[in-house]
Structure 1
Amino acid sequence: MIRTYGPESELSPYEVQAAGYALRFRCETRDGTREVSIGTQSPDHTVQWTILERCRLSDLGLVTPSLEVASEGDVLRLKTAEGAATSAPQPRRQATERDKVRGREKQPWATDSPPHQTAGAALQETVDPRVEAARAGLPPVVDDLLHRFTAAGLGLTLVGTSVRQALEGNVGHELDFVTESDVQQIRQIIHGWGDEVRVHREHTPGVVSLRKQSDTDNYSLRISACPTPPHDRSPRSRRAVHEKALEAYLRRRDFTIDAMALGLSRVTLTDLFGGLRDLERRVLRTPRAPTASIANDPPLMLRVVRGAARLGFEPVSELRDAMHTMARRVTEVPAEHVREELTATMLAARPSTGLRLLVDTRLAEHVLPELPALRFESAEHHRHKDIYEHTLKVLDQAIALETDGPDLTLRLAALLHDIGTPRTRRTGRDGRVSFHHHEVVGRNMARKRLRALAYPGQLIEDVARLVELHLRFHGYVDGRWTDPAVRRYVRDAGPLLGRLHQLTRADCTTRNQRKANALARAYDSLEERIEHLAVEDERQSARPDLNGHQIMEVLGIRPGAELGRAYEYMRDLRIEKGPMNFETARDALLEWRARRDR
């Protein structure tokens, strides 16, 4: 029989030794939601806490992630592979080749940790090779900072997104830490070490940010203060308060994959909400109940969309359902904030993934209603493509054509290029569906939507112009354009010509390979003509409309300085006003001489 205890109950060592483990329960109310945590205590008195959702009920009793069925099959025991949350010292880490090249070896993690940090085993989960590899992969700037805190008798813990990136083997240049100190002491510790030190009071009790140049890399560091109680309190009390503060910090993170903490001195991973498991499953889940999280922070729904687009992770069904149910709450988010999240989604690696989620959860109906409006029934006559799927494919293809990194103007134009189709949709007597002038209607709709989202004026006009021009090329396919028509195409596109090339090519999503090849050849031909005409026009622009012999004949002069001045005037006139016929050019030349003779 396994007894259960409260979080602070005193246990007899004999009881735990005899059973092999004990269970502790902790109930807390957070933001109106009752949460239950289960702790598995090992004979060495360390406790591994987890949430109730990660446990299961079996015939043998409650099974936590720290327990397994013994080989005999009739009893539960601690997992020997995980070894529970042990307080035994970690092995000394050998210096990496990179450290040796830099001329120094890092200090062993188990020996430089303050006592109150190494004693905090209640939150610490077991170490596996992935955690050790994540610690080994951290840049030297982390050890430099850790040494300063260790010298001051303080611990330092890597938290949040930085931990996830370290576990993925892709540590960035923005790192977040937590320490059991206050802002004033943090500033004293980093005085003279970091640059651009700032204190942010939007969090309680505060965050210190700084920049640090390390070799050729520039790092942005954030250290959150979590002060411990006064020193006259017992170490156990200080440890408990610090653990609770760390837990509260991690619980505030958006997703469990970013709600982990990596011990720097003693290699440990604090994972209270199953973030490592969710990282393996590539899912997004909130540390708290999703409905409570969204109720307190409606912009979270947009950050889920951004996370899906940036990481390619899927939200768990509970989170997706909560977003669908509470989608209207997104109307409480200011337009500028919506714009920032939409922009981040559009510039992510997989914007179409985020946009699908935006539509499926009905968020788009409130922030970008033109997108779900493209999902009208398109197969009723089997006469035209699915505009919604076509739009997302055009976006993906436009991204593939980018040459200088993410282009927000191009991506927004690809997303909005067909939003005028629902309003212009007509079905003829023969059952054919048409969308005449949808590019003009779409231009006005795109301009209106982007203004509502508070985008800059120039970007709005550029996107609207691309939407308006995206069909112009098809006139070239249907009938051979004259040179003036090609020049008008170039003139109307202006500085957007390169983006128009990309958008037009991306707009071909036909499955008919013969048709796709024909369109590609036609656009190759158009681009070649544009380049040829550009070279020809540049060459012609350097020639005046009257040659030297004609100028001498009109003015009645011989070769000399006067001819040179007249020739230069006619050349400048050609550049300024364009080509002229002989009579117009002659009159302009005579007028020039008349002005000179006055």
Structure 2
Amino acid sequence: MSEASAPHAADRRELTAAQRNAVAELLRVSPVADELGRRFVRAGHELHLVGGSVRDALLGRLGDDLDFCTDAHPDETLRIIKGWAESIWETGREFGTIGAQRDGLRLEITTFRAESYDQVSRNPVVVYGTSLDEDLKRRDFTINAMAVSLPDHRFTDPHGGLDDISAKVIRTPSTPGESFGDDPLRMLRAARFAAQLRFAVHPDVHLAMTEMAADLDRITAERIRDEFTKLLCGADPITGLRLLVDTGLAERFLPELTGLKLEIDEHAQHKDVYEHTLTVVENAISYEEEGCDFILRMAALLHDVGKPATKAVGSDGRVSFHHHEVVGARLTKARMKAMRYPKEVTAKVTALVALHLRFYGYGRGEWTDSAVRRYVADAGDLLPRLHKLTRSDCTTRNRRKAAQLAADYDALEDRIARIAAEEDLARVRPDLDGNAIMELLGVPPGPVVGRAWKHLKEQRLEHGPLDRDAAEAELLRWARAEGLIT
């Protein structure tokens, strides 16, 4: 590691641990990486493991996706790896990247870059660089500006990335203003890395993020969406979300989050809706069973975005937010559409926001079996997430109230299980299907069948399953009332 900056004495033990992590990780992938490096050297080119791969190796978390840089241009890279790689893809060719797979590892090999921006365009203009140092300098953060040359394993760290990993700090190789001026998305990426790695943002970086937040408007919605999704799925999204709000970045693409700071939550007067929301996100994460559930996390983040628009203060001074779930669902749909999330993902998050208050009132004993059926039917396959979101929404410090809400929801889940065992609640459908309706009424496919089906479903929800004779009698009764038969 001859080119790394010398570690401070106080950091030496931690850096040694980081280096041990790197050695262990690199030994795992070195048979493929070193073999690839030798192929490039024989062809008269350089090859370096670089960026996030080196960072993750130092952190002991290197995966199966490896990033390399080289002085070879894409056509030359293709010649070097053809016949060696098990598969090759060229989807990133316009950015100088050739992809390959070998022994279960996904490899991305990119020509040295010296990206340039005109300060107006919304995407980078790719210009090939000529050296490793030039390539590392144009990278976003020092922790991503390190390289391991192959096959000799020479370590290059011209900007002190190893020290910053030890200090758990996010800095830029050039000045933050220059870096963010080149690509404003890097400001959002700083918050994302803070969330993923639990690192702190350097004060100079924080200041530049605040002063240059408006520059994020130059970036496409799709690029912002992808970075934000990674942030929300990070190990510590709360840190990332706070950075977005504190620097003003959230105001550029998710202003509803910043707006929550202005309101008071009537369920917990000791904290505003913003703090309540962050707590709900943390609670939701604790209910995840395997990996990030983005739909659940996003619903937790947006569940109360309708409160600012519905705030009312009564004559007794109490704050209320009547129907904020309805307004919130509408705002959620509009915001996720603007961020270019897929329709299916948007629909699921919107539905959870709309349903998150439905449970309140159950503890007063007002719910009939019909209400339980409708709760399950409206949630559909989102019911497990709705259970988690509703439980996450309880953030009161009043232990008695919290215990009562938990007991009430336990009772609701038990009741759902009981009725489901009796009636197959997972598939609440009319007791007669479309064919039976057409046969009994003597009508062809069309609107009448749909209306009849809907009526029978309402009866199913209200009264539970009907046997065949009772269902047919109800259908005929409805048809007579509608004037369809005499």
Q: TM-score, with normalisation over the residues of structure 1? A: 0.64
Q: Aligned pair count?
A: 426
Residue 94 of structure 2: aligned partner? 202
Residue 383 of structure 1 and its aligned partner are, at CA, apart by 3.6
Say if 2:70 is the partner of 1:179: yes
CA contact (8 A) 1:469 1:493 kept: yes
Residue 416 of structure 1 and its aligned partner are, at CA, apart by 0.6
> Structure 2 vs 1, CA of residues 306 and 424 (structure 1 numbering), >3 Å: closer, same or farther?
same
> Aligned runs of 1:45-84 on 2, under 5 Å?
none
Distance 1:157 1:380 in 2: 56
Distance 1:384 1:424 in 2: 20
Residue 185 of structure 1 and its aligned partner are, at CA, apart by 3.7
CA contact (8 A) 2:266 2:320 kept: no
**What SS does the aligned partner of 2:255 have?**
coil
Q: Report the AA paired with residue 421 of structure 1.
A: K
Output one character per residue of 1:130-153: Cα deviation in whole Å (capped at 9) or x when no partner: 665554353421122233334445
> Aligned runs of 1:70-219 on 2, under 5 Å?
132=23, 135-152=26-43, 154-199=45-90, 200-203=92-95, 206-212=96-102, 214=103, 218-219=104-105
Q: Report the AA paired with residue 370 of structure 2.
A: P
> Structure 2 vs 1, CA of residues 485 and 224 (structure 1 numbering), >3 Å: closer, same or farther?
closer
Where do 5+ consecutive residues of structure 1 fail to align? Answer: 1-46, 51-64, 69-80, 82-126, 228-241, 546-573, 592-598
Residue 180 of structure 1 and its aligned partner are, at CA, apart by 4.0
> Structure 2 vs 1, CA of residues 522 and 265 (structure 1 numbering), >3 Å: closer, same or farther?
same
> Structure 2 vs 1, CA of residues 408 and 384 (structure 1 numbering), >3 Å: closer, same or farther?
same
Residue 109 of structure 1: aligned partner? none
> Structure 2 vs 1, CA of residues 313 and 128 (structure 1 numbering), >3 Å: closer, same or farther?
closer
Residue 411 of structure 2: aligned partner? 525
**What SS does the aligned partner of 2:87 have?**
strand
CA contact (8 A) 1:384 1:433 kept: no
Residue 348 of structure 1: aligned partner? 234
Q: Report the AA paired with residue 157 of structure 1.
A: H
Say if 2:268 is the partner of 1:376: no
CA contact (8 A) 2:3 2:157 kept: no
When Rg is computed on C-alpha atoms for both structures, the one with the higher figure is 1
**What SS does the aligned partner of 1:517 have?**
helix
Residue 449 of structure 1 and its aligned partner are, at CA, apart by 1.3
Residue 518 of structure 1 and its aligned partner are, at CA, apart by 1.6
Residue 368 of structure 2: aligned partner? 482
Q: Report the AA paired with residue 450 of structure 1.
A: M
Distance 1:381 1:348 in 2: 28
Residue 391 of structure 1 and its aligned partner are, at CA, apart by 0.4
Q: Report the AA paired with residue 251 of structure 2.
A: E
Q: Report the AA paired with residue 176 of structure 1.
A: D
Residue 525 of structure 1 and its aligned partner are, at CA, apart by 0.6
> Structure 2 vs 1, CA of residues 380 and 538 (structure 1 numbering), >3 Å: closer, same or farther?
closer
Distance 2:19 2:272 in 1: 48
Residue 413 of structure 1 and its aligned partner are, at CA, apart by 1.0
Residue 580 of structure 1 and its aligned partner are, at CA, apart by 5.3
Query: Greater share of helix residues, 1 or 2?
Result: 2
CA contact (8 A) 2:51 2:144 kept: yes
Q: TM-score, with normalisation over the residues of structure 2? A: 0.78
Residue 431 of structure 1 and its aligned partner are, at CA, apart by 2.4
Residue 435 of structure 1: aligned partner? 321
Distance 1:418 1:264 in 2: 52
CA contact (8 A) 2:210 2:248 kept: yes
Output one character per residue of 1:372-392: Cα deviation in whole Å (capped at 9) or x when no partner: 111126499994532111101
> Aligned runs of 1:407-486 on 2, under 5 Å?
407-486=293-372
CA contact (8 A) 1:381 1:431 kept: no
Moved more, 346-355 or 280-289: 346-355
CA contact (8 A) 2:34 2:151 kept: no
Distance 1:586 1:172 in 2: 60
Output one character per residue of 1:472-531: Cα deviation in whole Å (capped at 9) or x when no partner: 111101234221121121122222211111110111111222222221111111011011
CA contact (8 A) 1:131 1:269 kept: no
CA contact (8 A) 1:135 1:267 kept: no
CA contact (8 A) 1:137 1:169 kept: no
Distance 1:584 1:317 in 2: 72
Distance 1:525 1:453 in 2: 38
**What SS does the aligned partner of 2:108 have?**
strand
CA contact (8 A) 1:135 1:264 kept: no
Candidates 271, 275, 282, aligned match of 2:161: 275
Say if 2:139 is the partner of 1:253: yes
Residue 535 of structure 1: aligned partner? 421
Where do 5+ consecutive residues of structure 2 fail to align? Answer: 13-17, 114-127, 433-455, 478-486
> Structure 2 vs 1, CA of residues 429 and 243 (structure 1 numbering), >3 Å: closer, same or farther?
closer
Residue 436 of structure 1 and its aligned partner are, at CA, apart by 1.7
Distance 1:275 1:468 in 2: 45
CA contact (8 A) 1:157 1:179 kept: yes
Candidates 216, 229, 250, aligned match of 1:330: 216
The two structures, once aligned, show a CA RMSD in angstroms of: 3.6
Per chain length, whose mean CA-contact separation is higher, i.e. which structure has more relative contact order (CA < 8 Å, sep 6+)?
2
Residue 244 of structure 1 and its aligned partner are, at CA, apart by 6.4
CA contact (8 A) 2:265 2:273 kept: no
**What SS does the aligned partner of 1:197 have?**
strand
